[in-house]
Amino acid sequence: MAIEKATLAGGCFWCTEALFQRIKGVTDVVPGYAASQVENPSYQAVCSGSTGAAEGIQFSYDPAIISYEKLLEIFWHVHDPTTLNRQGNDSGTQYRSAIFYHNDEQKQIALASKVALDQSGAYKRPAVTEIAPFTNFYAAEDYHREYYNRNSSQPYCMLIINPKVQKLLKEYRSDLKTEITP
């Protein structure tokens, strides 16, 4: 099988980058802006809410190592897909939960996965995650890349990202790379 691309948004891209770069079969995790109505938006423009962009990640993955279904299972459990335009204290449309599918197979898997999540009772409320066709993705400024790995002692990383990394380690240890540690 060929390497495939995925684009997800689950709140602050520092969090989602830190999580997905630890998953076996996932490579080239890039934080950035998905579904922007403006070409090459800046962080400041995205934060203003005027671009329509979501903070997200785009990455490559090897379906022979990890399936899209498994990636979405992890995605559902490492952020709160039931809060509209919010993750923790981060609020605004740029922090929305979204799956931007690259083909019809990803679309069908995402739709079925969301239904299964809602039926599972994992959350008390239904998922509000947007499932939309991929339109565009712009890489974030360099200072956003590898943010957690470079700044793990910063308060945001310690209080917000590290608990998510610990949850990932606890619940998905067999799906994680061994060479990257929290």
Mean pLDDT of 66-92: 95
Query: Would you say 151 and 18 are in contact if contact means Cβ atoms under 8 Å apart?
Result: no
**Residue 28: inside a domain, yes or no?**
yes
CA dihedral 43, 47, 52, 53 (to 10 degrees): 40
Residues marked active site are found at 12
What is the per-residue pLDDT across 161-178, written as a single tens digit (0 to 9) for each? 999 999 999 999 999 997
**Residue 12: inside a domain, yes or no?**
yes
**Residue 158: inside a domain, yes or no?**
yes
For position 110, which CATH number holds?
3.30.1060.10
**Residue 182: inside a domain, yes or no?**
no
Can you give the pLDDT at residue 181?
A: 53
pTM exceeding 0.85: yes
**What is the average pLDDT value for the chain, to the nearest integer?**
95
Structural domain that includes position 89 = 4-175
Can you give the pLDDT at residue 119?
A: 97
**Residue 135: inside a domain, yes or no?**
yes
Token pair 């060479």 in the structure block, residue: 179
Helices (H) and strands (E) in the chain, counts: 7, 8
Count of the separate structural domains present in the chain: 1
